[in-house]
Structure 1
């Protein structure tokens, strides 16, 4: 049996792995499923059709799985799906999806989500991301793996945030942020590539050099978006692919080595740009 504090209320229909821990005064609804090793702190409400994976750590005072803050929502049984090994700090709000998309809000795995973060309906949050305090993701926002969103930042609905990008403190993000870029300021502007993040993930000198070239083509060469994409696709990509045991950049503090190649990085960037719907941060 799961370890449930006597003051917590867990609906008999909820499915909790026997290793789950639920803190004092928390409330868990009938359509909730929680995987092995996950801990739920005190004073949390987990409701709706919510599925939570393994080894998550959910701190106190969180609202997980409430209905969307969307006036078109008519009470449909939409979902929230959360992966494994996420840290969710205090006072976060995660909502279920709407039928405007697939009806599911998705949170990946290994994310570090700080206090007062809001994840709205139909958001797709990747894995290994960091969302600092008071980051707010509006409906239908997509965030790629390894992205970092600074504190007090607001992400406009339907915006896409590329993998390995970084948004500075108090960013007002109303356009798409390409992969690998650092954006900050008011108005928001692309400043450089996320060099520190790439080095910490073990990107080789060859991959970083190619990403710098893509940044130059996109922001420093006076090309149209279509011309920049064509020029990126013409970059040399014959460097060998790197496994997760690749030799990291010399002197870098390594957090994880992310497998890939120059070819895969170029493909990630060009595919993102080709699908951008709100324009990109300039």
Structure 2
């Protein structure tokens, strides 16, 4: 299942039932988990750990050096989970020594053509990165986030779970869970991701609580401090609102408002 033209470093560890296509290059200190399919002309540099049952399409480049002028060749790594779809021309870089040392991708993500994920990013599970979307370094993405085509995030931004980032939207601030960002440069909040939540089984009670929290944060004319105070009360009756409040507590950049 390994094409004779593929180049595999002797230190690479290849699991059972792995397929590697023509002219692909698997570098030193790369581990590829069971059942993963690697297409032709893929380059994977180490240290990189890839889980099981991933699908990596042709011309993807994984585990390359971080694009950071401070990088001095220190040992850093890329860690990819299970069952991810990584499509054509995707680039994912390793971490940096002063940024935690690891770029991490979770499970069951769809990372479509021409996506770039920079050094030290942390990606959750079940996300979708549409074509040409991109993350600068140190970005954190929660579970079930959707990044539409041509969208992007500035370094150190955090995007909470179930958020939807519209086509062409460029983020310079943190986006709380459940929020939809408009298709505008330096995007603006435009409600909650109701359709996505319905598809994931959120009932009307949960969605109503999230909408109320959104109105408190974005539509009531409150200062952020006053909004947080009201959200802390609403969180007593809603785990989802509590998740929003915890996100605000972790936010280190300005909040998208």
Query: TM above 0.5, one fold?
Result: yes
Please name the residue that 2:240 is paired with: 265
Please name the residue that 2:179 is paired with: 181
Asked whether the equivalents of residues 48 and 67 of structure 1 are also in contact (C-alpha less than 8 Å), the reply is: no
Structure 2 residues without counterparts, runs of 5 or longer? none
1:149-228 to 2 correspondences below 5 Å:
149-184=147-182, 185-228=184-227
2: CA distance, partners of 1:48 / 1:38: 17
Deviation (angstroms), 1:186: 2.8
Please name the residue that 1:258 is paired with: none
Please name the residue that 1:133 is paired with: 131
Task: Give CA-to-partner distance per residue, 1:98-137, whole Å, 9 cap, x none.
Answer: 1122200000000011000001000001100000001110
Structure 1 residues without counterparts, runs of 5 or longer? 239-261
Asked whether the equivalents of residues 172 and 186 of structure 2 are also in contact (C-alpha less than 8 Å), the reply is: no
* Structure 1 residues 217 and 170: CA distance shift in structure 2, 3 A: same
Give the number of aligned pairs: 256
User: Which residue among 35, 38, 41 is the counterpart of 2:36?
Assistant: 38
1: CA distance, partners of 2:99 / 2:16: 34
User: Which residue among 247, 251, 255 is the counterpart of 1:276?
Assistant: 251
* Structure 1 residues 24 and 236: CA distance shift in structure 2, 3 A: closer
Please name the residue that 2:68 is paired with: 70
Task: Give the stretch that moved more between structures: 179-188 or 124-133.
Answer: 179-188
Task: Give CA-to-partner distance per residue, 1:36-70, whole Å, 9 cap, x none.
Answer: 11000000000120000010000000100001000
Please name the residue that 1:5 is paired with: 3
2: CA distance, partners of 1:46 / 1:13: 13
Task: Give CA-to-partner distance per residue, 1:253-278, whole Å, 9 cap, x none.
Answer: xxxxxxxxx2x212210011122122
Please name the residue that 2:100 is paired with: 102
Asked whether the equivalents of residues 236 and 242 of structure 2 are also in contact (C-alpha less than 8 Å), the reply is: no
* Structure 1 residues 72 and 236: CA distance shift in structure 2, 3 A: closer
Asked whether the equivalents of residues 48 and 77 of structure 1 are also in contact (C-alpha less than 8 Å), the reply is: no
2: CA distance, partners of 1:43 / 1:33: 18
1:19-38 to 2 correspondences below 5 Å:
19-38=17-36
* Structure 1 residues 5 and 106: CA distance shift in structure 2, 3 A: same
2: CA distance, partners of 1:58 / 1:164: 25
Task: Give CA-to-partner distance per residue, 1:15-37, whole Å, 9 cap, x none.
Answer: 00121100000000120001011
Q: Normalised by the size of structure 1, how large is the TM-score?
A: 0.89
Task: Give CA-to-partner distance per residue, 1:191-218, whole Å, 9 cap, x none.
Answer: 0100000000000111101100110000
- Aligned residue for 1:61, secondary structure, equals coil
2: CA distance, partners of 1:175 / 1:51: 30
* Structure 1 residues 236 and 84: CA distance shift in structure 2, 3 A: closer
Say what the alpha-carbon RMSD is for the aligned residues: 1.0
Structure 1 segments of 4+ aligned residues over 2 angstroms from their partners: none
